[in-house]
Structure 1
Amino acid sequence: MDRLRVVLNEAIERGIITRAQAKQVKALAAEQKPSASGASSLRLTHLLYYLGGCMAIGAMSVFMTLGWEAFGAWGLLSIAVAYAAISAGLTEALYRTGYRVPAGLTATLTVVLVPLAVYGVQLLAGWWPAETAHRPFFAGFDKRALTLQGAALGTAGAAFVRYRLSFLMLPLTVLGWYIGMSGATVAVGAENASDVFYLWTSAGLGALIAAGAAALSGYGRSAFAFWPYIVGGLLLWGSLSMLTLHESLPPAAYAALNAGALLSGAAMQRHVFVITGALGLTGYLAYLAYDVFAGSMWFPFVLACLGLGIIALGIAWQRHAGAVRQRLRDAGKCLIGAGS
């Protein structure tokens, strides 16, 4: 209803409809609003889907660690192939019967199992030394792990082409980040890759993923941009936060980046940027209060005035949000048209 109210207010300001007509539209929308019980049922159904999918995927992740010791290479390969075939069959059956959310989850399970099968083949071929064969294939960023990540990425890409399920963008995005991290490590050498190097690389990849999500939204693929936005936003914010703790990023720069994330998230209606930006700014204010201005009596008053100013800014934004977003969309279309 909040979104509808913004659109109707914008339509009134532009003279497209009258206030009386806007009230009639609001009344109609209220009549057609789904019941609370129906919405709760839908949320519970999806909660069960995701809970079951995460349990199955997590179980296979644990199996990657324990399977070599318990079953050996042949057992690992056989079980992975059998489970991958079952999950692929389930995906096809669920997709054909219209259960798209569980189909996306079982497809993701297949994506997890295929590199496990490839890992078993590599163990049989002697690619992994005896002292490292018991480790999970995702234990580090190196050339061997890169081949397994490539197998997973190929599987996820093939599944996405076949089913066009938005949830498959999650493994595709995570695998893209993982391959980027492995590639950067191989490029500079594992012995030269420090924690700060990994954090800056992860932040850069998070920014690229978020930019890719914005491009998807610009081309009208908002459903496919949902998971890349979340993954990219969390990677970027988490990496920058850790860099600040490592004293590799000045706190003021961290605050400015979080403010930019919050404002851009509000403009693009992407909650992940709003939430992470707000968390980052809260952390920065705590740093100012307890470290920089610990003994100052003026700081609380200045902070209170700043808070009131932000509330006023929020009121102004609510009044003019529709017009600002329309200008941003028009600017984005112009940029996309110029790029093509």
Structure 2
Amino acid sequence: MLTDADLKALRDAGLLDDAKLAEIDAFLREREQPPAAPTVGANLPRFDLTHVLWYAGALIIIGAMGLFTNEAFNRMGGWALVACGSAYAVAFLTAGHMLWKNQSLRIPAGLLIAVAVSMVPMIIYGVQDAYDLWKYALGDPGQYQNFFPYVNGSWIYMEIGTIIASAIAIWRYPFPFILLVGGIALWFLSMDLAMWFTRGPGNYVDWEMRRDVSLYFGLAMIVVAWAVDIIRRDGPDYVFWIHIFGVMAFWGGMTLNDGGTELEKFIYCLINIGLIGLSLFLNRRVYAVFGAIGVAVYLGYLASEVFKDVIMFSFALSAIGLGVIALGLLLNRNRARMLAAMDNIVPQSLAWLRPEHARAAH
């Protein structure tokens, strides 16, 4: 290794000038500096194939014990369902609790705990069925598997219990995915409560009321998630799933509107454009996704009216699809710049409405 004396000798011999000697000296000193500390979050786990398998496994279990329970399963009776649901809940909760102690296994641990929470509606259903408590609700709702596809006022006890269990679980094990189970139960509760207010299932068969309940409930969820985003300073992103379910319920109720005037359809397009802007305001990409789909729906409607020919209609829809992809690329490439521009556009009096992570994202 060259010493300072060697470098000075090279300079005195005329092989190096003073400028080059200073440049070499600076380079060597920089090499001697200790390596920089790793960036905060650099070692955080990434969402890779392993995580996909973990999440997929949890969703398969939840689906198997909910959506796909068949008639033979339900024929076991109420107490059998209570025993089965309780055994699953205890087993998954115990396994999740043991894994939770290992920081590197918090994801599978949280997923197992979420699966345990998802057993709560089955347990409550079993108790109601065993004691024939449907008379205190709106009648027998049928098999447990109907809980997911059908609206019925008798489900509300199951939903309230699931929401409470989710709140306790997220307090004890701060893992945002647990809110997925609670968010679904809360969404179902909003629709099932409408049956109590309409005084009977017969008044709740029309799509218009279901659509309106979904729309207003979704809007309320968006407002709640937005408020939590403003208050939250750090820690896990608990409201991620609330944002998703809020915009799904709101956008779905808005999109399922039958008919409407041309002005109403144009307003629908403007609202979806507003969702894209809200995505930048809150730094939540999910609003841009649904907003872009909504704009594509409106443009597809226009294309179907303008291009009557089937071939031209296909070309028009293809162009719309390419436009949506291009919009996504534009947002992805210039997102930081757009977020910075949003800071300049938003007046100081309204800046507090932007979550901290939106202001600091760039």
By how many angstroms is 1:174 displaced?
Answer: 1.8
| SS of equivalent to 1:223 | coil
Distance (Å, rounded) in 2 between the aligned partners of 1:208 and 1:56: 30
1:254 counterpart (268, 277, 295): 268
2:203 counterpart (188, 192, 213): 192
Distance (Å, rounded) in 2 between the aligned partners of 1:59 and 1:114: 14
Distance (Å, rounded) in 2 between the aligned partners of 1:115 and 1:186: 19
Name the structure where helix makes up a greater proportion of residues. 1
Q: Do 1:57 and 1:109's aligned partners in 2 also have CA atoms closer than 8 Å?
A: yes
Could you list the per-position Cα deviations for residues 244-286 of structure 1 after superposition, in whole angstroms to 9, with x for gaps in the alignment?
A: xx22583112111111111111232211111111111111112
Q: Do 1:261 and 1:277's aligned partners in 2 also have CA atoms closer than 8 Å?
A: yes
Closer, same or farther: CA 107–316 of 1 in aligned 2, 3 Å: closer
Per mean C-alpha deviation after superposition, the further-off stretch among 69-78 and 135-144 is: 135-144
By how many angstroms is 1:332 displaced?
Answer: 5.1
Distance (Å, rounded) in 2 between the aligned partners of 1:317 and 1:53: 33
What is the identity, as a one-letter code, of the residue corresponding to 2:228? Answer: L
Distance (Å, rounded) in 1 between the aligned partners of 2:246 and 2:347: 21
Paired position in structure 2 for 1:43: 48
User: How many residue pairs end up in the alignment?
Assistant: 294
What is the identity, as a one-letter code, of the residue corresponding to 1:134? Answer: Q
Paired position in structure 1 for 2:19: none
Closer, same or farther: CA 161–318 of 1 in aligned 2, 3 Å: closer
Report whether the alignment pairs 1:234 with 2:248: yes
What is the identity, as a one-letter code, of the residue corresponding to 2:202? Answer: E
Q: Do 1:68 and 1:133's aligned partners in 2 also have CA atoms closer than 8 Å?
A: no
Give me the identity figure in percent. Answer: 25
2:93 counterpart (70, 88, 99): 88
Paired position in structure 1 for 2:9: none
* Unmatched 5+ stretches in structure 1: 1-27
Q: Do 2:74 and 2:81's aligned partners in 1 also have CA atoms closer than 8 Å?
A: no
| SS of equivalent to 1:71 | coil
2:296 counterpart (282, 293, 297): 282
Report whether the alignment pairs 1:266 with 2:280: yes
* Unmatched 5+ stretches in structure 2: 1-34, 355-362
Distance (Å, rounded) in 2 between the aligned partners of 1:316 and 1:89: 46
Q: Do 1:67 and 1:76's aligned partners in 2 also have CA atoms closer than 8 Å?
A: no
Could you list the per-position Cα deviations for residues 118-156 of structure 1 after superposition, in whole angstroms to 9, with x for gaps in the alignment?
A: 211111111248975435351544442101111111111
Paired position in structure 2 for 1:77: 82
Q: Do 1:218 and 1:332's aligned partners in 2 also have CA atoms closer than 8 Å?
A: no
Task: Identify which of structures 1 and 2 has the higher relative contact order when contacts are C-alpha pairs closer than 8 Å and 6+ apart.
Answer: 1
Q: Do 2:141 and 2:154's aligned partners in 1 also have CA atoms closer than 8 Å?
A: no
Distance (Å, rounded) in 2 between the aligned partners of 1:40 and 1:103: 14
By how many angstroms is 1:52 displaced?
Answer: 0.8
Distance (Å, rounded) in 2 between the aligned partners of 1:219 and 1:202: 26
- Where do 1:6-25 residues align within 5 Å? none
Question: TM-score, structure 2 length as denominator?
Answer: 0.70
Question: TM-score, structure 1 length as denominator?
Answer: 0.74
Paired position in structure 1 for 2:23: none
| SS of equivalent to 2:237 | helix
Closer, same or farther: CA 330–97 of 1 in aligned 2, 3 Å: farther
What is the identity, as a one-letter code, of the residue corresponding to 2:57? Answer: G
Closer, same or farther: CA 316–163 of 1 in aligned 2, 3 Å: closer
- Where do 1:220-231 residues align within 5 Å? 220=232, 223-231=237-245
Report whether the alignment pairs 1:321 with 2:312: no
Distance (Å, rounded) in 2 between the aligned partners of 1:57 and 1:326: 45
By how many angstroms is 1:316 displaced?
Answer: 9.3
Paired position in structure 1 for 2:164: 154
What's the C-alpha RMSD, in Å, of the aligned pairs? Answer: 3.7
